[in-house]
Amino acid sequence: MAQRYVRVQSQTGQLHYGLLRPDRSVQVLDAPPWLQGQPTETELLPGGYDLLAPCAPSKVVAVGKNYPDHAAEMGTATPTEPLLFIKPSTAVTAAGAPVYYPTQASQVDYEGELAVVIGDRCAHVPPEEARAKIWGYTIANDITARDLQKRDGQWTRAKGFDTFCPLGPWIVRELSPGARLQTFLNNQETPVQSASVDEMTYSPDYLVAYISGIMTLLPGDVILTGTPAGVGPLSVGDQVRVAIEGIGTLDNSITLRA
């Protein structure tokens, strides 16, 4: 099993990065792993911590319509260059955490995605050096208020609500180029989304180089690489699961804020 890097909060309220062991205990690191964090003698036992989003990015840069079949289902052609938008860091939430259905919206959609975690400062990175800047991979759900996206004509509000960027449950260092991404609703066996990540138009390496020519990417920042066809609406009470081979599953529930 690939090493799984997590971010957790202990029962005393301390935040830690660590390595998740097969028995679900966590070996604590002395710094984020992309900042050369090393294992310590501290161990958190199962039940002694809460799993958080696996990183705390300064920004989440997302890519729209990066799978041709999704561009087609949205009624558009594949963009001739990456279509970028930003989700605020405050949208990030953890695996298992609730996604809050905003009162302003009438259609909230799931969008299962592969997420890339940046390991080094990136500014104007040449394409041939981009892969070395990717520290690892995790799973994301680019939750979108579709009605607001159409109404506003730009995507900040529709994509930016608190809890609209579930990430996790952990980060792995390597991923098969042909890993399959699937999204499931309410524990059904048939996925509503299913694609190989190598079907995306612009690869993670390309995206790192392209985005770094626009804005500096910092260690721990996240790139959402786009969603395949099959996006659709969520209702309060729904359970949504995004699974990527070689990483695991990201599970969240849809609820109203109390």
pLDDT in tens, 34-57: 999 999 999 999 999 999 999 999
pLDDT in tens, 72-121: 998 888 899 999 999 999 999 999 999 999 999 999 999 999 999 999 99
pLDDT in tens, 223-255: 999 999 999 999 999 999 999 999 999 999 999
Across 166-172, average pLDDT = 98
Task: Work out the widest C-alpha separation in the chain, in whole angstroms.
Answer: 54
**Strand bridging mode 134-141 / 193-196:** unpaired
Across 20-35, average pLDDT = 97
Structure tokens at 72: 């087609």
Across 133-156, average pLDDT = 97
Per-residue model confidence (pLDDT) at position 74: 86
Amino acid occupying residue 89: S
